[in-house]
Each structure stands twice: as structure tokens, then as C-alpha cells.
Amino acid sequence: MASTEFGRTVRRWRDRVPPEAAGLPAGGHRRAAGLRREELALLAGVSVDYITRLEQGRASHPSEQVVEALGRALRLSGGEREHLFHVAGLVPPGRDMVPAHITPSVHRLLDRLTGTPVAVYDAAWTLLLANPLYAALLGDPSGWRGNERNGVWRNFVGPDSRVRQSPEVRREFEAALVADLRATASRYPADQRLRGLIAELRARSVRFAELWDSGAVCRHEASHKTVEHPQLGPVTLDCDVLSVSGSDLRIMIYTAEPDTEDAERIALLGVLGTQALVES
């Protein structure tokens, strides 16, 4: 019964989200104004088959991560998100967990920044949403799963990124990331996923363990980065991190100096880049 109600709820809310509101092209013949199953699957980072089975009541007990991802993809309000957790047979994450809900107002803000690379992270630096320009600039994150989506993990034990930094800047950046993560861990001591992330990083990265044991606490807020894009070459940008009051989200925004080659390359990136909003 719960599985059937969950599927009906997802289908009902899928039908009310126009594709353009989720950053997707609205072209082609559509039987309904809302998202197609494959579009919701893309936005939530799950398979189309799984969405089909959920909506038909053939898949039961979706995980907390899947419900959270569906809530973000469907642009649910706080009350709607809680309802989705309840019909999935789950308790909504409490205040002792790192928040992962993106409010409708934040979605609207990002809708207005289509010409700027923007991403939303939670307080533990796990990527929640990236707009097409961000994905085109730094690489498509739609295939990342688990800790692969975490910015601290990717900086210490993940594959090389497109960002180029001097050794000194790199050390300062790493120290700021670890200190910021420590501050987050102190605010959410009961979050098991956060504890697991920290344990893995301590086990796999000597540098992370050293910085963690130093005990520093601060917040990573801004930096100056050069991104080595495979088609456009180096693009130097300012990277600012904005905090969302009441939700502990981080909005990362890349901007270029006006009337520069970097600004021209970002504009060109909008033509070369991906066309779909990437969310998980």
C-alpha cells in the first residue's frame, strides 16, 4: 500500500513540473506538460526502469538518498518533502543530519543564473545540483555516485580535476576544506554518512589526516581558480561561495572579469556545453 501511494505521489508531482522549470528543453511532442520519466530519472540520478517500478508500485522501500533526490528533482516544498518521506515509509532527516533539501526559492535563484556556472552543495560539500554551464566547465557529474559527489573526497582521493593551482594555493585550499568540514562535523555529530566520509578520508589520505588532526576550524568561502577546459583551454575565474540562511546550503558561483577572454570563453561554453540540468 505504501509503495503504491509513493508511486502515485511521484507521478502526480512529476506531471506538474514543466521541463523548462528544471532546465530541460521543452521541445517535441508531449502527452503531458510535466516531466517525462527519463527526465526525472536524469535529474534524480536513478534509472528510468527504477522510476517506472516506483510509479507502478513494483519497487518498495526506496532509500533515503533516492527520496531526497526525487524531492529535489520535483522541486518540492518543505512540507511536500516530508510527505514524500512519510509515504516512502521513512522518517524525514532531522536537524542532526546535514540538510540536503533545496528550497523552491533557491531553485528560482538558479533559474536566473543560466549564463553563470553554478552548483549547490550541502554543508559537507556533497554536490546536490549543478547547472549545465557548471557541468560543461568542470565536467559532467551525472555519473558520480556516493562519495564521488563529495568535493572534499574528490580533492583528496579522487581523480584529477580540471582546476589548476600552485602548490602553495593548493595547500591553503586543502586546509580550508578540511577546517570547513570539521566545523560541519561539529554541527552534525549524529550524521552517519558524514562520519563515514571522514573515516574514509582519514584512512585513505595522509594529508587529510594530518590536517584533520591539526584541529583548525574555519569556513571555505571564496577563491580564484584557473580551470583547464579540454576545448577552450585555461579559464581564470573568481569562485564565490554563498550561504543559504536556514538551510546550510552552499551556492558556488564562478564569474569572470567583464570584457576579458575568460568572459568570452564562458559565453562560448554556453554553446559548447551540456544541455541538461544535472541533479542528484
- Domain harbouring 227, CATH code: 3.30.450.180
The predicted pLDDT at position 197 comes to 97
Domain end call among 87, 122, 146: 87
Does residue 95 sit within a domain? Answer: no
- The average pLDDT across 209-234 equals 86
Domain boundary pick from 87, 119, 138:
87
Sorted by sequence, the CB contacts under 8 Å of residue 54 that are 6+ apart come out as 3, 6, 7, 10, 62
- 133/216 Cα distance (integer angstroms): 34
The answer to whether residues 131 and 262 touch, using CB atoms and an 8 Å cutoff, is: no
Predicted local distance difference test score (pLDDT) of residue 185: 94
Question: Which region among 1-15, 77-91, 223-237 has the lowest average model confidence (pLDDT)?
Answer: 1-15
Fill in the amino acid letter for 261.
E
- Tally of domains in the chain: 2
112 and 159 fall within a common domain? yes
pLDDT for residue 11 is more than 70: yes
> For residue 92, is it within any domain?
no
Please indicate whether residue 277 or residue 95 has the higher confidence score (pLDDT): 95
Q: Which of 65, 19, 100 is nearest to 276 (CA)?
A: 19
Indicate the burial class of 122 (C-beta count within 10 angstroms; 0-12, 13-18, 19 or more).
buried
Question: Both 148 and 207 in a single domain?
Answer: yes
Give Dmax (Cα) for the chain.
Answer: 59
Clarify whether residues 143 and 24 are in a common domain.
Answer: no
Place 277 in a pLDDT band, splitting at 50, 70 and 90.
Answer: very low
pTM of the model: 0.78
Residues 272 and 196 both lie in one domain: yes
Residues 121 and 235 in one domain: yes
Whether residues 151 and 215 share a domain: the answer is yes
pLDDT at 279: 47
123 is in which domain, residue-wise?
Answer: 104-279
Long-range contacts of 111-118 (CB under 8 A, 24+ apart): 111/21, 111/23, 113/253, 114/23, 114/270, 115/266, 115/267, 115/270, 116/253, 116/254, 116/255, 116/266, 117/237, 117/253, 117/254, 117/266, 117/269, 118/251, 118/252, 118/253, 118/254
For residue 276, is pLDDT > 50? no
**Percent above pLDDT 70 for the chain:** 91
Examine residue 94 and state whether it is found in any structural domain, yes or no.
Answer: no
- pLDDT given for residue 143 in this prediction: 82
* Nearest C-alpha neighbor of 261 from the set 224, 221, 225, 234: 234
What is the C-alpha to C-alpha distance for residues 23 and 25, in angstroms, rounded to an integer? Answer: 7
pLDDT at 28 over 70: no
pLDDT band at 179 (very low <50, low <70, confident <90, very high): very high
Task: Look at the block and give the residue holding cell 574528490.
Answer: 154
Give the Cα separation of 169 and 100 in Å (integer). Answer: 29
Output Rg (C-alpha) for the chain, integer angstroms: 19
The whole-number pLDDT of residue 22 equals: 67
The proportion of the chain whose per-residue pLDDT surpasses 90, expressed as a percent, equals 50
β-strand 233-244 against 222-229: which pairing, if any?
Answer: antiparallel
Residues 216 and 258 in one domain: yes
Over the stretch 80-105, which tens digit does the pLDDT of each residue have? 988 999 989 888 887 788 998 898 88
CATH of the domain at 10: 1.10.260.40
Structure confidence at residue 29 (pLDDT)? 67
Predicted local distance difference test score (pLDDT) of residue 59? 85
Does residue 24 carry a pLDDT above 90? no
63 and 14 fall within a common domain:
yes
Question: Is residue 98 assigned to a domain?
Answer: no
Contacts of 156 (CB under 8 A, 6+ apart): 174, 201, 204, 205, 207, 208
- Residue 275's pLDDT is what? 42
Which of 31, 59, 87 is where one domain is finished? 87
In a domain, 139, yes or no: yes
The answer to whether residues 169 and 258 belong to one domain is: yes
Residue 170 counted as domain residue: yes
Q: Tell me, yes or no, whether 147 and 189 share the same domain.
A: yes
User: Which residue do the cell numbers 563529495 mark?
Assistant: 150
